[in-house]
Chain A
Amino acid sequence: MFDEMELDDPVLEIPEGWESRAPEDWEWETLWDAVEYGDHIYTDSRVQEAIEADINPRVILDDGLFPGFNLQADRFSAQVIFIPEMLITARAMKAGLALIRPLLAANAEKPVGTFVIGTVLGDMHDIGQSIVTIMLENAGFNVINLGTDVHPDRFIQTAREENADLVGFSALLSTTVYYQKVTIEEFQNAGDREKVKILIGGAPTTPEWAEECGADGWGKDAVEAVRLALRLVEQPRAAWNSDGG
Chain B
Amino acid sequence: MKELLPRERFARAVRHEKVDRVPLLYRMKSEAKEKIARVYGITKTGTGLKHNPELELRLGNDAIIYQIGINAQFSHRPIKIGETWFNHFGVGYGKSGLKGRTEDEHLEFMKTQEFWGPAKVVPENFPNHHPITSMEELKNYTWPDPADPELIDPIKSLIDEYQKDYYIIVDLSSTLIEAAYAHLVGTQNFFLMLFDQPELIAAVLDGLTEYYTQLGKNVIDLGIDMIRVGDDVGAQQSMMISPVQWRELAKPRFDYMFKEFRKTNKDIDIKLHSCGDYSPIIGDMIELGVDLSGLMQPTGGNKHQKELRQKFGDDIAFIGGFDVQRLLPRGQVEAVRNGVCEVMKNLAAGGGYIFSPSHYILADVPIQNIFTMLEAQRDFGTYGKYPLN
Give B33 Cβ to nearest chain A Cβ, in Å: 14
Contact mask B226-242 → A, CB, 8 Å, 1/0?
00000000011111111
CA distance A206 to B100 in the complex (A): 30
Contacts A81-B242, A174-B364 given: A2-B301 contact, CB under 8 Å?
yes
Per-residue 0/1 for A95-108: is the Cβ within 8 Å of any B Cβ (1 yes, 0 no)?
Answer: 00000000000000
Say whether A182 contacts B195, CB under 8 Å.
no
Find out whether the CB atom of A1 lies under 8 angstroms from the CB atom of B245.
no
Instruction: For B6, list chain A residues within 8 Å (CB).
Output: none
CB–CB A175/B325 < 8 A: no
Give chain B interface residues in 38-90, CB to chain A under 8 Å. Answer: none
Which of A82, A87, A174 is close to B188, meaning CB atoms less than 8 Å apart? A87
User: Does B99 lie within 8 Å of A150, measured CB to CB?
Assistant: yes
Interface bits A117-135 vs B (CB < 8 Å: 1, else 0): 0000111101100100000
User: Do B98 and A121 touch across chains, with their CB atoms under 8 A apart?
Assistant: yes
Which of A3, A88, A121, A149: most chain B CB closer than 10 A? A149
Which residue of chain A has its CB nearest to the CB of B307? A1
**A122 and B238 contacting across the interface, CB-CB below 8 Å:** no
Q: Is A70 an interface residue (CB 8 A)?
A: no
Q: Which residues of B contact A124 (CB under 8 A)?
A: 96, 124, 126
Interchain CB contact under 8 A, B118 and A178:
yes
At the interface, yes or no: A204 with Cβ under 8 Å from chain B? yes
Contacts of B307 in A (CB 8 A): 1
Interface residues of A: mostly helix, strand, loop or mixed?
A: loop
Contact of A59 with B by CB under 8 A? no
Measured between C-beta atoms, what is the minimum distance from A145 to chain B in Å?
12
A84 at the interface (CB under 8 A from B): yes
A127 to B279, CA, bound (A): 21
Look across to chain B and name the residue whose beta carbon is closest to the beta carbon of A204.
B325
Contact between chains at B299 and A203 (CB < 8 Å): yes
Report if A79 contacts B (CB, 8 A).
yes
Check if B164 is an interface residue, CB within 8 A of chain A: no
Q: Does B92 count as interface, using CB distance less than 8 angstroms?
A: no
Q: How far is the CB of A174 from chain B (nearest CB, A)?
A: 5
B266 is an interface residue with CB less than 8 A from chain A: no
Q: Is the interface of B mostly helix, strand, loop or mixed?
A: loop
User: B232 → chain A, closest Cβ, in Å?
Assistant: 11
Give the size range of B's interface with the partner: 35 or more
Contact check, B195 vs A203: say whether CB atoms are below 8 A apart: no
**Complex Cα gap A106–B104 (Å):** 50
Contacts A2-B301, A91-B192, A182-B120 given; does A174 touch B97 at CB 8 Å: no
CA distance A191 to B215 in the complex (A): 56
Q: Is the CB–CB distance between B121 and A121 below 8 Å?
A: yes
Q: Which residues of A contact B195 (CB under 8 A)?
A: 38, 84, 88
Among B97, B191, B245, the residue within 8 A (CB) of A122 is B97
Among A1, A130, A173, A206, residue most surrounded by chain B Cβ atoms (within 10 Å): A173
B329, CB-defined interface residue at 8 Å? yes
Shortest beta-carbon distance from A79 to chain B in Å: 4
Query: Are A83 and B240 interface neighbours, CB within 8 A?
Result: yes
Give per-residue flags for A168-206: 1 if the beta carbon is below 8 A from chain B beta carbons, else 0. Answer: 000001111011001000000000000000000001101
B110-151 to A contact mask, C-beta < 8 Å, 1/0: 000000001111111010000000000000000000000000
- Among candidates B191, B283, B324, residue contacting A3 with C-beta atoms closer than 8 Å: B283
Which residue of the partner chain, among B119, B245, B325, contacts A82 with CB atoms under 8 Å? Answer: B245
Given the known inter-chain contacts A81-B242, A84-B194, A130-B188, please indicate yes or no for A173 contacting B280, CB distance below 8 A.
Answer: no
Q: How far is the CB of B369 from chain A (nearest CB, A)?
A: 12
Judged by a CB distance under 8 angstroms, whether B385 is at the interface is no
List CB contacts (< 8 Å) of A217-238 with chain B.
220-221
Q: Is A160 an interface residue (CB 8 A)?
A: no
State the Cβ distance, B274 to closest chain A Cβ, in Å. Answer: 14
Query: B120 to A174, Cβ gap below 8 A?
Result: no
Which B positions have Cβ atoms within 8 angstroms of A?
A: 96-100, 118-124, 126, 187-188, 191-192, 194-195, 235-242, 245, 276, 279-280, 283, 299, 301, 304, 307, 311, 324-326, 329-330, 362-364
List the 10 closest A-B pairs by CB distance, nearest first: A124-B126, A122-B121, A204-B325, A203-B236, A84-B191, A124-B96, A149-B96, A79-B238, A175-B364, A122-B97
Could you show 6 A-B contacts with beta carbons less than 8 Å apart?
Answer: A88-B192, A91-B192, A121-B121, A126-B187, A148-B126, A175-B363
